[in-house]
Structure 1
């Protein structure tokens, strides 16, 4: 549920089931139970990382799935979990490795890069979509997240999107409700045509 009003905007995603269980925890545990195993083995002359490569749907082309990635010449990474999260971490890790190389003339030790990635993951547990993200980016992020575990084809018939539009500062000044001093954020459901346009991008 997303609500906005009175000049203060709040986004609440905490949902309890009728039995009182926290729904997000149930979904997280279900996702973990359906995940694949990734492992690492240290040998006397090297290291091996391995994982099961399978898609969540028969409609996904297995050839486009990458679960083991190169970060820099001395570091590789493997994951178990959500693909979009992994891709974000890989991108940030590669940028960090390049920045370290530009400063020190060598690629970072694994411990240094691991700490940076762990900090990113820790920060993500304390925040949802940042206040700086635009509504357009939020819609695209929502679609990418839905796509990760979606069964079947995503179309304007199988996806629904609702948005709350927060007025700009100029709009806030001109859009107060008379006599109340309250702002007028608006909620609306995107039309099928709008959803189709977003899916086409």
Structure 2
């Protein structure tokens, strides 16, 4: 029997060993707006393209969301599915905080989201999640950024820089050329803007991109040097506009 005969069986392997509904879910991801993440020496940057219809209020569209004060996520694919993941991830983070007395790390959050998405691949009466998610956080104790990609199958990996959604292969190729291990947050923001602009359909403006950062900044030199933590935050339209002006 061909694989096609199994394509509507959500929890059954095809004769070739594939779960075809996961492949269909990945197609939904590949039709979603592009998103990317870049790990810098002092933080992590998430960015996402926003392609809007002419009369849509751009301020109502948020591609990037926080999960805790220090961990956030961006998605490509079906936004309703991401809302379910986001709600459950926030609730689980609160349980973790109450149990252990500390914020969960990005790895803890990514592990939970991966387990949640995997459950949707083997439970009767449901379908796999139609989105991939990038989770970013920063370990202020060890001064290390964390960036994870979680796919509809529940698999997740740690990345230095990666992209999901439309034109992800082209975007990854561009990131490979631009990424430097010694770049700081500001450099990573500029790289993110240039990368989104590379595959953006039309003229990219400050309203066509979401950017968020998490990490730390150092001010002063020598004995007067001070490290200030940056909680996960979305950049304002004005801040994005300023960065884009520097790129011109």
User: Of the two, which has the highest radius of gyration?
Assistant: 1
Query: What TM-score does the superposition give when structure 2 sets the normalisation length?
Result: 0.39
> Higher relative CO (CA 8 A, sep ≥ 6), structure 1 or 2?
2
Q: Would you tell me which structure has more strand in proportion to its own residues?
A: 2
Structure 1 length normalisation: TM-score? 0.47
